Amino acid sequence: MDLSFANKVALVTGAGSGLGLATARAFAEAGASVVLADAKRGTYQASKHGVLGLTKSAALDYAAKGIRINAVCPGIIHTPMLDKMMATQADALNAMLRDVPIGRLGRPEEVASAVLWLCSSAASCHALAVDGGYTIR
């Protein structure tokens, strides 16, 4: 499987920390030129709600041109944002973790690996859950 991104450009949102930062690093290590963007409490929440619809629409619009549009739907991932939540809402987080079959927090690097695969020539159009089995329960 070719995961080289030489002569490719990757736009990574949320690149200030957590999943976005891990993904940006993975793309850079794979040879891509990386454009970083970050904003994202209100913007972050709004983007999560709209990303699947946008992914489906864009995939339909650009598939004939050979452009793949994919989405990654991460579960409970250990990020700085989650650390802040744990400081004030540990009981809620522990309750959520009980529903994760893998029994642990995901790691940003695991999500970054999924993103690189989706962006590689090995993948076509997908919405991929990287959530430790949470959505299959």
Q: What percent of the chain has pLDDT over 90?
A: 31
Return mean pLDDT, the chain. 86
DSSP 8-state code for residue 121: T
Domains of the chain in sequence order: 9-75+106-131 (3.40.50.720)
Beta bridge partners of 33: 9
pLDDT tens by residue, 53-63:
888 899 899 98
> What is the secondary structure of 32-56 as a DSSP string?
-EEEE-----HHHHHHHHHHHHHHH
Does 129 score more than 70 pLDDT? yes
Active site residues: 44
User: CA–CA distance from 101 to each of 96, 122, 137 (Å)?
Assistant: 11, 27, 8
pTM, to two decimals: 0.75
